[in-house]
Chains A and B, each alone.
Chain A
Amino acid sequence: GQNIDQPTEMTATEGAIVQINCTYQTSGFNGLFWYQQHAGEAPTFLSYNVLDGLEEKGRFSSFLSRSKGYSYLLLKELQMKDSASYLCAVRDLQSNYQLIWGAGTKLIIKP
């Protein structure tokens, strides 16, 4: 079956670093996406991984290990505006390339 797991909620301090993990089980993996979603707003695209390794984009980095079915999103130099939900989504060949979404991780940044 298809399954994506993320922690429900995490708390971190402004200026610190936080790592949000995502594990997945799919029949036909074809890429993993991370999105940020502020409360009441639409998800916005952060990163895309299809090959193993680390993709860095400013303060945000995303890592993928296909053999382990594992990804993480790393946020550095945390700012208060980073308080949001972070959604992991996997594109699945067996589902006609549709995205399978995790429930999201609510990140709370404290001063």
Chain B
Amino acid sequence: ETGVTQSPTHLIKTRGQQVTLRCSSQSGHNTVSWYQQALGQGPQFIFQYYREEENGRGNFPPRFSGLQFPNYSSELNVNALELDDSALYLCASSTPTTTDTQYFGPGTRLTVL
């Protein structure tokens, strides 16, 4: 186990709704990255937070937003859900060292109907 936790494990929403996913990083890690992984694909980078500031963003629309809190936990918010948002959402924590290895949480499986 990596020490990274995510909630909820599974979630079912309908189109147009909003969702908030949560992540607690591994102890000592001040950086959190969020990924979207569709079935049979590699993770797609959404954004990264470092010390409560967004530190890079992938090719996702503004309805994907996030927060990082002083304890380095993080939230991913998605507004106006679309069917294509159905995926596994992964958060990974790391610390800015030479290797900067990312350690993943178990993920949240989001289904949009």
A residues contacting B by CB (< 8 A) are 4, 31, 33, 41-45, 48, 50, 87, 89, 91, 95-104
With both chains docked as a complex, state the minimum distance between the C-beta of A86 and any C-beta of chain B, in angstroms.
11
Interface hits, B80-113 → A, CB 8 Å: 90, 99-107
- Can you name 27 A-B residue pairings with CB atoms under 8 Å? A4-B42, A33-B101, A33-B102, A41-B106, A41-B107, A42-B2, A42-B90, A42-B106, A43-B90, A43-B104, A44-B2, A50-B99, A91-B100, A95-B56, A96-B55, A96-B56, A97-B56, A97-B100, A98-B33, A99-B43, A99-B45, A99-B102, A101-B42, A101-B45, A103-B40, A104-B40, A104-B42
- The answer for the CA separation of A41 and B2 in the assembled complex, in Å, is 12
By a CB distance below 8 angstroms, the chain A residues around B8 are: none
Q: How large is the interface on B (under 10, 10 to 19, 20 to 34, 35 or more residues)?
A: 20 to 34
With both chains docked as a complex, state the minimum distance between the C-beta of A91 and any C-beta of chain B, in angstroms.
7
- The answer for the CA separation of A33 and B92 in the assembled complex, in Å, is 14
- The answer for the CA separation of A50 and B101 in the assembled complex, in Å, is 12
Name the CB-closest residue of B to A91: B100
- The answer for the CA separation of A102 and B42 in the assembled complex, in Å, is 6
B58 at the interface (CB under 8 A from A): yes
Name the CB-closest residue of A to B99: A48
The verdict on A42 contacting B42 (CB below 8 Å), with A91-B100, A95-B56 known, is: no
- The answer for the CA separation of A33 and B101 in the assembled complex, in Å, is 8
B43 touching A98, Cβ below 8 Å: no
Name the CB-closest residue of A to B106: A42
With both chains docked as a complex, state the minimum distance between the C-beta of A106 and any C-beta of chain B, in angstroms.
8
Name the CB-closest residue of A to B96: A97
Which residue of the partner chain, among A31, A98, A102, contacts B99 with CB atoms under 8 Å? A31
